[in-house]
Amino acid sequence: MSEPAIELRGLSHRFGEGEHAVSAVQDISLSVAAGSFVSVLGPSGCGKSTLLRVLAGLLVPTAGQALVRGRSAIATPGLVGYMPQRDLLLPWRRALANATLGAEIAGEPVEAERERARGLFQQFGLAGFEDVWPAQLSGGMRQRLALLRTFLIRSDVLLLDEPFGALDAITRRAMQAWLQDVWMRDRRTVLFVTHDVEEALFLSDTVYVLTERPGRLLTHVDAPFARPRLPSLVVEPAFVQCKALLLEALDRGAPGG
Amino acid sequence: MQYLPALLLLAALMAVWELAVALLDIRPYLLPAPSRIWSAFLRIGGTLPHHTWTTMAEATLGLALAAAVGVALAALIASVGLVRRVLYPLLVASQAVPMIVLAPLLVVWFGFGMAPKVIVVALVGFFPIVVNTVDGLLGADREMVGLVRSMGANRAQVLRHILGPSALPAFFAGLKIAAAYAVVGAIIGEWVGAGSGLGIFITRSQASFRIDQVFVAIVIVALASILLFALVQLAARLATPWMYVHERKDEG
Ligand SMILES: Nc1ncnc2c1ncn2[C@@H]1O[C@H](COP(=O)(O)OP(=O)(O)OP(=O)(O)O)[C@@H](O)[C@H]1O
Ligand SMILES: [Mg+2]
């Protein structure tokens, strides 16, 4: 096996100093093989977003290492495609111009990128909204546009922070199926953050479970189901069994558990 | 029409004014009635465009200078902590210097031409522009900065894609305040001495006790201020269209 696409070694982070310090994550080590889809599952506030921000090069951790394709990602932005938890669409750019932001910053020809983006607008159910301002989009549409923008970034490693958090159950399932499709096409490495157990299992090769804050690695569960996975997978006994394992792990990670 | 209530109120005030002057028998050199101001306007109307043009040119140039200097200072203050701590308090203190005191000095330094007037306008106008633009720059969403940095953006790109656009509405808020004071600033600049302009026109009219002419000038100053303000408002709409999205939707 070649070097992992993502590797965390003994990663810890504390916000602030002294008695007001908040320990967000503690001693996390994990590795994500190139071309795999891995989820991080954990309760709110356990440090999932913190992990992604370290890997995106935006946050310098208090201890440990973070590598992306063998290079240290610490204080080194630009190695990954990062989708933050908030959609962070730029209000002063119309929808299509938001989608092509990454290409523009990378100095790639914007005209070709626009064509690529138009195709994705269709797939994301955003056709016809290319020229509206972000303020005119619904919460779910904004999130889909943010995901679209992330997929247009030319990086083999994508970090997605609860990309479907703002979607209703119906759209969410459709987007999960779509994500699986797109991911299978070019098999970019994805590190996916969620607190939806079923979503994590449905999409991933491996699911890592974190404890309550400060987040520590509790266990990981493999999801060895053949792809493409169908929506009916979630009621099959093998899937339900994995889900039970994860839920039990989450219970153990809760205080007093 | 959206300005109808304002116009009605204005008309009512005029009527009260006219009546009061007639009934209370107020001398015209104390307070001329609107009708008298109107006939003064008809009499001297021909000389007004020239004066108005001079004053508007001073106000507009001064405003442009205020915007240029204001944005440059704001960028410096927002990006360098030391400058913020040293320069900001000085700027605030500078606002305590009365323009009436400064204007004659500027004439001594820069002569009777346009320069001292433009400088007075700029001195009056740059402060609200600096303060607002600094707030806009510092108030940019840190996470948005993080997003473009994660895409590999350098400092110039962060400025262009995030800091600049997020400061733009605040900059225009400051520019609007500056625009409202610009014409008055030009007039204060002319007070001390000028070849033409509404300020010098007012000074001369006062010297010859033509209070009705003073009032004509005051009306023109008010209209000029409104015009300048409206132009800035229009520029803001064109430069920051995303700020007016919901407004447009409500109208439609
Ligand atoms: N900039 C910050 N300053 C101080 N504390 C912070 C900061 N960012 C996060 N924290 C703290 O770190 C902890 C982990 O935050 P993080 O955003 O990583 O959680 P999360 O697992 O992503 O939660 P959620 O599922 O709700 O998004 C939280 O307790 C939070 O209060
Ligand atoms: Mg989070």
Task: State whether residue B150 sits within 8 Å of chain A by CB.
Answer: yes
Q: How far is the CA of A29 from the centre of ligand 2 (A)?
A: 19
Give the integer Cα–Cα distance in Å for B78 and B161. Answer: 16
Of A192, A147, A152, A156, nearest in space to A174 by CA: A147
- Phi, psi (deg, nearest 5) at residue B203: -60, -45
Question: Residue A67's Cα: distance from chain center in Å?
Answer: 16
Give the integer Cα–Cα distance in Å for A221 and A68. Answer: 22
Question: Residue A77's Cα: distance from chain center in Å?
Answer: 16
Which residues sit opposite A25 in a β-bridge?
A13, A215
Give the integer Cα–Cα distance in Å for A150 and B84. Answer: 36
Cβ atoms of B60 and B229 within 8 Å: the answer is no
Q: Of the CATH numbers 3.40.50.300, 3.40.225.10, 3.90.950.20, 3.90.550.10, which one belongs to the domain with range A1-80+188-257? A: 3.40.50.300
In which element (H, E) is residue A177 found? helix A169-186
Give the integer Cα–Cα distance in Å for A8 and A12. Answer: 10
Residue in A closest to B160 by C-alpha: A105
Question: Which tokens belong to B173?
Answer: 């808020």
Min Cα distance B103 → chain A (Å) is 41
ipTM, two decimals, is 0.93
- Test the B interface: residue of A50, A87, A90 with most B CBs within 10 Å: A90
How many other CB atoms sit within 10 Å of the CB of residue B139? 13
CB contact under 8 A, A105 and B147: no
Q: Tell me the DSSP string of A93-107.
A: S-HHHHHTHHHHHHT
- The residue ranges of every structural domain in chain B are 51-240
Looking at mean pLDDT, say which of A171-175, B60-64, B193-197 comes out highest. B60-64
Residues 161-200 of B with CB under 8 A from A: 161-162, 165-166, 168
Task: State whether residue A78 sits within 8 Å of chain B by CB.
Answer: yes
CB contact under 8 A, A105 and B151: yes
CB contact under 8 A, B150 and A82: yes
Give the integer Cα–Cα distance in Å for B194 and B198. Answer: 10
A89 Cβ contact list (under 8 Å, min separation 6): A95, A98, A134, A137, A142, A145, A146, A149
Residue A39: helix, strand or coil by DSSP? strand
B87 Cβ contact list (under 8 Å, min separation 6): B73, B76, B77
Strands A81-83, A157-161: pairing is parallel
| Amino acid symbol at A197 | V
Cβ atoms of A96 and A48 within 8 Å: the answer is no
Q: Measure CB to CB from residue B242 to each of A86, A91, A106 and give the nearest one.
A: A91
- Phi, psi (deg, nearest 5) at residue A207: -120, 120
Q: Is the pLDDT of residue B51 over 60?
A: yes
Q: How far is the CA of A24 from the centre of ligand 1 (A)?
A: 6
Task: State whether residue A90 sits within 8 Å of chain B by CB.
Answer: yes
Q: Is pLDDT larger for residue B148 or for residue B92?
A: B148
Q: Is B116 left (phi over 0), alpha (psi -120 to 50) or beta?
A: alpha
CATH fold group of domain B51-240: MetI-like fold (1.10.3720)
Give the integer Cα–Cα distance in Å for A78 and A55. Answer: 10
Q: How far is the CA of A229 from the centre of ligand 2 (A)?
A: 27
- Test the A interface: residue of B144, B151, B240 with most A CBs within 10 Å: B151
Min Cα distance A240 → chain B (Å) is 37
Strands A63-68, A81-83: pairing is unpaired
Residue A228: helix, strand or coil by DSSP? coil
A119 Cβ contact list (under 8 Å, min separation 6): none
Question: Ligand 1 pocket: which of A11, A14, A50 to mutate (most atoms <8 Å of CB)?
Answer: A50
Min Cα distance B172 → chain A (Å) is 15
Cβ atoms of A68 and A75 within 8 Å: the answer is no
Give the integer Cα–Cα distance in Å for B83 and B74. Answer: 10
Enumerate the residues of chain B whose CB falls inside 8 A of the CB of residue A134.
242
B27 Cβ contact list (under 8 Å, min separation 6): none
> Residue-wise pLDDT tens for chain A (257 aa)?
578 999 999 999 999 998 899 999 999 999 999 999 999 999 999 999 999 999 999 999 999 999 999 999 999 999 999 999 999 999 999 999 999 999 999 999 999 999 999 999 998 889 999 999 999 999 889 999 999 999 999 999 999 999 998 888 888 998 899 899 989 998 999 999 998 999 999 999 999 999 999 999 999 999 999 999 999 999 999 999 999 999 999 998 777 65
Residue in B closest to A153 by C-alpha: B151
CB contact under 8 A, A86 and B143: yes
Strands A206-210, A189-194: pairing is unpaired
